[in-house]
Amino acid sequence: MSDSTPMGEFLRARRGALKPQDVGLPGHGRRRVPGLRREEVAMLAGVSSDYYMRLEQGRETSPSPQVIDAVAAALHLEDEARDHLRRLTRAPRERRRLPAGHDRISPQLLQLLDSWPDTPAFVLGPALDVLAHNTLAAALHSGFQRFENLACMVFLDPAGGTFYRDWEKVANSCVAEIRTAYGRDPDSPRITEVVDALCMKSSEFAALWARHEVKRKTQQAKYLKHPEVGALEIQVSAFTVNGAPHQQLVVYQAEPASATAAAFVELRSGADRGEFARTEREGSGRALSDT
């Protein structure tokens, strides 16, 4: 990651993503920089150009909530991006660090995973580490070298390009989710480790990371292609884990009586026969160094 401040990087990226006409300014004439100029954002936010420049350069670290809201409005930030910007302005002492043992899964949650033998389900950490999974989730992802970190699977594993039929959408969502987690805990060693490794090994990840887009995992459709059972259309639901809000329970559901539901039955049968066996039901989430 860059040595410049997270807030400054975010403001520069979002400013560069806007065109003058997006904010009601004339777009004609030569422009030396992509997107809006600093002076234009300052004008739209009602602050001085010098003050806004200090924000981007990290020399102004304690902007008022009113200023942050004004800058967010000038940059046309949506709610999640506004919240992300507010978190980036917090002093280090105000940030909520992950507790020790944050990657431990409660016995009750493991029991819940096992209670869904016909539904793939797994638990993710902030850096998209797979902290635990049930048997069907392992069978669904059996084409990957490792089922330990979703970001590594999307960007580094050769299977990612064929497994995710809407790869570009999944890649964008994946990076935006990690960016959101980074905003909550910019000092997280694990998030830094994952981001640094992926930026070094994947130019696609590095380009998306530089865009500073944020998005939490929400209910959405996903289109997959398993090497054994073929095309799948899945509804994804993500839930915050009560008592461990840094963890997400992710559930893949199929429409009843659909081809995907039948494929899940076939995967379950194969798993029962040991065709998709994996040695651990709780993932290590550390698949980076030799991927």
- Model confidence at 40: pLDDT above 60: yes
Q: What is the CA radius of gyration of the chain?
A: 21
Top CATH class, 107-272: alpha beta
> For residue 96, what pLDDT band results from cuts at 50, 70 and 90?
low
Q: Token pair of 88, please? A: 């980036």
Please determine whether the domains at 6-94 and 107-272 fall in the same fold group of CATH: no
Return the amino acid letter for 253. Answer: Q
The DSSP result for 207-220, as a single string, is HHHTTT------SE
- Residue spans of the domains in the chain: they are 6-94, 107-272
From 11, 2, 6, select the one nearest 56 (Cα to Cα): 11
- Model confidence at 26: pLDDT above 90: no
In contact, 174 and 154? CB cutoff 8 Å: yes
Top CATH class, 6-94: mainly alpha
Q: pLDDT per residue over 188-232, tens digit each? A: 899 999 999 999 999 999 999 999 999 877 678 999 999 999 999
Query: By mean pLDDT, which of 84-98, 169-183, 274-288 is the weakest?
Result: 274-288
Q: How far apart are CA 58 and CA 121, in angstroms?
A: 41
Q: pLDDT per residue over 145-161, tens digit each? A: 999 999 999 999 999 99
Q: What does the pLDDT read at residue 1?
A: 42
- Model confidence at 3: pLDDT above 60: no
Q: What does the pLDDT read at residue 94?
A: 55
Q: pLDDT per residue over 224-274, tens digit each? A: 999 999 999 999 999 988 888 889 999 999 999 999 999 999 999 988 887
> For residue 290, what pLDDT band results from cuts at 50, 70 and 90?
low
Burial of 101 (0-12, 13-18, 19+ CB in 10 A): exposed
Q: How far apart are CA 73 and CA 82, in angstroms?
A: 9
- Model confidence at 100: pLDDT above 70: no
Q: What does the pLDDT read at residue 88?
A: 87
In contact, 114 and 137? CB cutoff 8 Å: no
